[in-house]
Structure 1
Amino acid sequence: MLTVDGIHVMCREWGCGNPASVVLLHGSAANSHWWDHIGPHLAIDRHVVALDMSGHGDSAHHAGYSQQRWAEQLGAVVGHVALARPVVVAHSMGGKVAYRAAVSGLDRKLAGLALLDANIAGPLSAGAAAAVRARGLRVRKIYADHASAVEAFRPFRSTVMPFPDLLRHIGENSITPAEGGWTWKFDPRTFIAATQPPPAVTRLRCPAAIVRAEHGSVLSDSGAHALIDGLGGATQLHVLAGSGHHMMLDSPRSLTAHLLRLLDEWG
């Protein structure tokens, strides 16, 4: 557990004591347990840390959320693990946060940045932003018992059905007791932060990789190539075969192998 600007941020770690390090960042409404089956494989010779952004998982809830505040939390975690220049791996909305942190100066401290199906440059349309804000104002649903809450867990935008045991594991770690039963750990108000306009795309001072899902990607072909142009010539573009948007759930073996190749390349 770290405290960043008075906010408690939960971290989960594997391979403590190894010199090289990796920081894993989840997407919207998710949490660090989405990496439970990935982190140990990356930690054979690395120190791997997965954090819960505030309002998610077991980190603190508070009055208001912003991508910049989450970026500061990521920067604090990087400082916590940085025995060597770490690699940050960030999924979906977490990719927007990681990119915001990178262009605020974190890229000087990184060995690499892997953005997993993250549309870091695309602002939401007016209609989409209104829908997201509406989700953020909803009252969290209460399930009568633990079993029905776990059974209800389904990743948003999923186009590929994850392994049932993996789905159950993450579901069990995504709920919390509430008055009248069980509910989701994430604070619905975190959705409102997703409507904030992205920073301008600019060249990074560390290597980067854009990893797109083969099915249901949030990145169009043209959008992906525009990112490559904006981020700089050293940026790689990959498509993870067989994967949907939630690639750590849809294609965990392929994603793990791909990340290990990137980690080896970036040292």
Structure 2
Amino acid sequence: MPASPRSATSGSRVSATTAVPAWFSEALATPYQRHDLEVEGARIAYRTWGKVGDPVVVLVHGGAAHAGWWDHVAPFLATSHRVVALDLSGHGDSDWRRAYDLSLFAREVVAVAEAETVGGTGPAEMMPAVIGHSMGGFVTLTAAREHGARLSGACAIDSPVQQMSPETRAWKESGRHVPGNKVYPSWEAVVGRFRTLPPDDASLPYVREHVAAASVHEVEGGWTWKFDPHVFLSAQMEPDDVAETDCPTALVRGERGMATTDITTTVAARLGGHVPVTVIPDAGHHIMLDQPVALISALQALVGEWFRR
């Protein structure tokens, strides 16, 4: 199942003129392993950092994103954890499906988590934890609701429950009745069109460039995005979908993000009320793109607490 080790910098085309701090370069230089796992008829691609047998932490990307959004975060959690970042079906290097829903995505996450946990040498009671951003937070909360007894913890990062994910809203507002990704004539042309949704000029350019470079692939006639636009048809979560879980649950939001105070208060109440909420100052919706160091610190503290018990 595992492929040969590969550095996270493979395929990255970060501009030579972009000022890149040492911590980011060192994170991208940290080797990871690529894997594939079949889940309900689809090949799910994922990557791992850290030692086999350590407690497993699974990182889940947002809508239209991919595992590479975590390349600069995962190595900082891998000093004492087996860190997994997957491409949900319809995203990144994973297979596309005829239809998608949050419960299906949650089963993909749990299958990958348990594949890595079972393969380790740690105690059986060391269950995996899941952390998800935006739509990936919807997936994480769904996994906690439906599979919480099999998890050590779950955290949703700036997930705007009661609203459409920003990616879904943008797609619906585009008026495209037959989803399809536009093909661009060159790699430079498609990467030049990369935008976060909602737009945020605060994204660090070296992080944005790395993420953009891994968001595209070559097809007949040019280059296009890796994601299947059909994922947007069922990527919404309502407050009634949130329920108390059998695992500790936490929320992280950006100060300028989409998971506003009223949303996190509602979600925390639905989860049972005793839910820590961490606010990352001066962060927008895409916290790993504009305040990654603060996010890393928050997640290190969170997983440390989950696995301390």
TM-score scaled by structure 2? Answer: 0.79
Tell me the residue number matched to 2:242: 201
Amino acid at match of 1:203: E
Aligned 8 A contact 1:158 1:244 in 2: no
Moved more, 18-27 or 187-196: 187-196
In 2: Cα distance, 1:101 partner to 1:136 partner: 30
Residue 284 of structure 2: aligned partner: 244
1:64: how far off?
Answer: 1.5
Q: Deviations over 1:207-233 (max 9, x none)?
A: 111111111x22232221121111123
* Matching of residues 105-124 of structure 1 within 5 Å: 106-120=147-161, 122=162, 124=164
1:27 to 62, 65, 70: 62
How far, CA to CA, are the matches of 1:204 and 1:141 in structure 2?
Answer: 40
Tell which deviates more after alignment, 34-43 or 195-204.
195-204
Assess, with a 3 A threshold, how the Cα gap between structure 1 residues 26 and 81 changes in structure 2: closer, same or farther: same
**1:180 and 2:221 matched:** yes
Is this contact kept in 1: 2:37–2:44, CA < 8 A? yes
Segment drifting more, 159-168 vs 60-69 = 159-168
Relative to structure 1, the CA distance from residue 177 to residue 28 in structure 2 (aligned partners, 3 Å threshold; closer, same or farther) is: same
1:77 to 1:34, Cα distance in 2 relative to 1, 3 A: same
Question: Which residue identity lines up with residue 19 of structure 1 in the other structure?
Answer: D
Deviations 1:16-37 (A, max 9, x none): 3142110000000000000000
CA distance in 2, matches of 1:150, 1:228: 38
Task: Supply the distance in 2 between the matched residues of 1:185 and 1:75 (Cα, whole angstroms).
Answer: 23
Give the counterpart of 1:81 among 99, 116, 133: 116
Aligned length: 263
Alignment correspondent of 2:303:
263
Structure 1 residues 196 and 109 mapped into 2: Cα distance closer, same or farther (>3 Å)? closer
Corresponding position of 1:67: 102
Distance 2:245 2:49 in 1: 28
Q: Distance in 1 between matches of 2:152 and 2:174?
A: 35
**Structure 1 stretches of 5 or more lacking a match?**
none
Note if contact 1:158-1:246 (Cα within 8 Å) is conserved in structure 2: no
Residues 124 and 164 of structure 1: is their aligned pair in 2 closer, same or farther, counting only changes over 3 Å?
A: closer
* Aligned CA distance change for structure 1 residues 177 and 129 (closer, same or farther; 3 Å): closer
What does 1:148-167 align with in structure 2 at a 5 Å threshold?
Answer: 148-167=189-208
Label 1:166 to 1:219 Cα distance change in 2 as closer, same or farther (>3 A): closer
How far did 1:133 drift?
8.9
Residue 206 of structure 1 aligns with an amino acid whose one-letter code is C
**C-alpha contact (below 8 Å) 2:171/2:232 kept by paired residues:** no
How far, CA to CA, are the matches of 2:94 and 2:82 in structure 1?
A: 21
CA RMSD of aligned residues (A): 2.2
Q: For 1:180, give the aligned amino acid.
A: G
Residue matched to 1:226: 266
Equivalent AA in structure 2 for residue 218 of structure 1: M
AA of the residue aligned to 2:241: A
Other structure's SS at 2:160 match: coil
SS where residue 91 of structure 2 aligns? coil
| Alpha-carbon distance between aligned partners in 2 of 1:5 and 1:131, rounded to the nearest angstrom | 28
Q: In the superposition, relative to structure 1, how do residues 263 and 227 fare at CA in structure 2: closer, same or farther (>3 Å)? A: same
Is the contact made by 1:25 and 1:91 (CA closer than 8 Å) also made in structure 2?
Answer: yes
| Partner of residue 14 from structure 1, selected from 22, 43, 49 | 49
Give the aligned residue type for 2:104. Answer: R
Structure 1 SS opposite 2:188: helix
Equivalent-residue separation in structure 1 for 2:188 and 2:62 (angstroms): 24
Q: Give me the identity figure in percent.
A: 36
Deviations 1:60-108 (A, max 9, x none): 012222222111111101211225222211001111112112211x211
Matched residue SS, 2:253: strand
Residue 144 of structure 1 and its aligned partner are, at CA, apart by 1.0
Unmatched tracts of structure 2, length 5 or more: 1-35
TM-superposed CA distance for 1:128, in Å, is 5.3
